[in-house]
Structure 1
Amino acid sequence: MTAQALAAELEVSVRTIYRDVESLHASGVPLYGDAGPAGGYQLLDGYRTRLTGLTEQEAESLFLAGLPGAAADLGLGDAVAAAQLKLMAALPSPMRDRAARMAERFHLDAPSWYSDPERSPLLSVVADAVWRERLLEVRYRRWQAPEEVTRVLRPLGLVLKAGRWYLVASGSSERISTYRVAQIREASVVDEPFERPAGFDLAAHWAASLEDFQSRQYTGEAVVRLTPRGFESFSSYVLPAVARAAERSAVDDGGWVRVTIPIESVGHATGMLLRMGGEVEVLEPEELRASVTSVVRELASRYLGSPVEGSPRA
C-alpha cells in the first residue's frame, strides 16, 4: 500500500505514516518500500509479531478469561490447555511469570453452592451444530403438555449459567427461545446450513431474556416486616430482584424493618418466607398471611399436639 492509501485508511496524515514506518523499522518490523507509480510499503511475507504489546494487567487477565470446566464440557479441554501453553511461550519472560502467578492464585468455579454441575450428555452434539451452523433435530422434554416434543432448531448459541447449559435457538416460527440442554433427550445434526439473523448478539439477547423472564416471573406484591437480623440476612433467602426491592422499600417499623417485595405466587412466597422462621411476619396480602398461618398451625399441631395416626410415635 502507498503512504497515501495508508493515510486515508487510518485517517492520519502522510507525514504520520512516514514517521510510523520509521518507528516500525527501528523496532525490527520487516517493512520495506518500493518507489514509483506501482510502489508502496509491504510487510515481509510470513512475519508474525510477538505478544510484546500486552500490559502486565492484560497478561494477568488472560488466565482469568477462560472457563476450563466449560471447555472440557464442550470437548475443548485439551485444545484450551494447548493454546494456553502456546500463549505462555509467546509472552516475554516477565509477562509469563505474572500470568502464571495469576493462574496459580485464582480459580473460577461456575456452579452455585449446594448443587453439582448439570450433566448434559448431548452437549457436544448441540455445540457441533452451533459451531457449524447446521440445523439440529431434537426430542425435548418440557414442563407442560405435551411433555415431549420433537423440533428442528436453528441453534444460535450456548450459554452456561450457574453450572447449567442453555441453548438459544429459533424454530419454524423464527421466534428465538431458550432450551435447557439437559432436557434434550435425543439430538442429531441435520447436514443443512441455516442463516443466522442479521446482527444477532447472543450476550445482548440473553440479558434481555433474563430481564423479560424476571418481569413475568412476579405476579404480585407482599408487605412483610423483618427483625433487624432477618433484614440483614434476607438476601440469603431470596432472589436478587426480591432483595433489591427490599433494600429500596425498607422503612423502620418500631424496631422491625417493613419492606415491600415482589412475589411469584402465594404458594411460592409461603415457602420462601417460612424458611426465615420467626425473623419475618407477613402483613399483606391477607391471602398470603392466611397461607402462612395455616402452615404454622399444621406444624404446631404436628409437633406439639397429639401424634398423627400412623406416625412412628403413634
Structure 2
Amino acid sequence: MNSRSAVAAVVAAALAEDAPWGDLTSEALVPAGSLATAELRAREPGVLAGGAAVHAAFAQAAALVGGEVRVTDVPADGTVFAAGDVLGRVSGNAHAVLRAERVALNLVQHLSGVATLTAAFVAQVAGTRARVVDTRKTTPGLRALERAAVRAGGGHNHRFSLSDAVLVKDNHLAVLTAGGLDVTTALKGVREQVPHTTVIEVEVDSLDQLDAVLAADVDVVLLDNFSLADLEEGVRRVAGRALVEASGGVRLDTVAAIAATGVDLVSVGALTQNSPTLDIGLDTALAAPGTAAP
C-alpha cells in the first residue's frame, strides 16, 4: 500500500467510525446548502505532519454528503510553525466541513505530535553520526502515517514490518541456544535462505554475544539496553564490520550521550508510542444557504 492509499484508507475508516449513519446534529440543525469557512490554526508551536490526511478528510466528507469543499494553504509536512499560525483554510459545504472536522484534527494533532517529538530527538544528536530511527511500536492501522510523520520530523524509518528485513531478537537467540544450536552457524543459514538484498540485523544484550554474531557477517548489530561504557566498547569491537544500533529505554535526556558513543543508529519507540497530541484547532464560521461564506 503506497502512502496516498494508506492515508485514504485510514481517513475512510475514521469517517465511518465517527458517523456510521450520518451526523445527526448537523443534519437536524444546519440547513442543507449552508456554506462554511474555517481556519486550521496552531495553538502551540510544533512541526507539521498529516497534511495529506487533512486534504483527504475534507474531500471524502464532501463526497459523502454530495457537496464540495476546498482546502488551501496547508504547509508541507516538516514545516515548523508557531502558536497562532494558520495551517490551512477550508471553505465549502457546511455539512462536509463539520463531518470532517474531528477526523482531520485527530490525525493532524497526533501526527504533528510525532513529528515534533522526533525533531526534538534529532536536535539532541546533532553533530554525531547517529540517526534517530523509529520502531514497530506504532498505533495499529496508523503505521504508514506515523512513519511519514517521523520523516517529517527529520528522523528515519526502521523496517516497516516483519516482512521487510531479518531482525533476530533475544527471544530468537534463546530458542536457538536452548536447542543446542550454534548461533554463528544458524545466522549463516539465514543468509542462505533470504534474498541477497535482505538486511540481517541481530540483537544482543551482552558483549559476550558479539563475537559469535559478528562471525556470521551480519549487516547490523543491535546493542539492547547497554550502558554507555558498553556501547563504546561494542562500537570498538564491531570496528566498522556492521552498523551499530542502540536501543532500549531511550529518552530525550539520554539520547545525546548514547549518540556520542559512536553508534550509527538510535532506535526510539517513544517517537510513536509516547508522542504528545499537539493543540491545533479548526475555527469555523457558517453562512446561510444561497449566501457567500463569511
- Asked if TM exceeds 0.5, the reply is no
TM-score by length of 2: 0.22
Question: Greater relative contact order: 1 or 2 (C-alpha under 8 angstroms, separation 6 or more)?
Answer: 2
Higher Cα Rg, which structure? 1
Please identify which structure carries the higher strand content: 1
TM-score by length of 1: 0.21
